[in-house]
Amino acid sequence: MRPHWIAMTALLGWGNALAADTLKPGPGADITVAICSACHTTDYIVMNSTFLTPENWKAEVAKMRTAFGAPIDEETAARISAYLAATYAAGQKP
pLDDT digits (tens, 9 = 90+) for 23-43: 999 999 999 999 999 999 999
Give pLDDT, residue 17: 45
**SS3 category, 10:** helix
- Is the predicted pLDDT of residue 52 greater than 50, yes or no? yes
For the purposes of burial, counting CB atoms within 10 Å of the CB of 93, is it exposed (0-12), middle (13-18) or buried (19 or more)?
Answer: exposed
Q: Which of 7-11, 17-21, 46-50, 76-80 reaches the highest mean pLDDT?
A: 76-80
Spell out the domains of the chain, with CATH numbers in brackets. Answer: 3-88 (1.10.760.10)
Contacts of 61 (CB under 8 A, 6+ apart): 72, 77, 80, 81, 84
Query: What's the whole-number mean pLDDT along residues 53-69?
Result: 96
pTM of whole model > 0.85?
no
Instruction: Give the whole-angstrom CA distance, residue 57 versus residue 6.
Output: 25
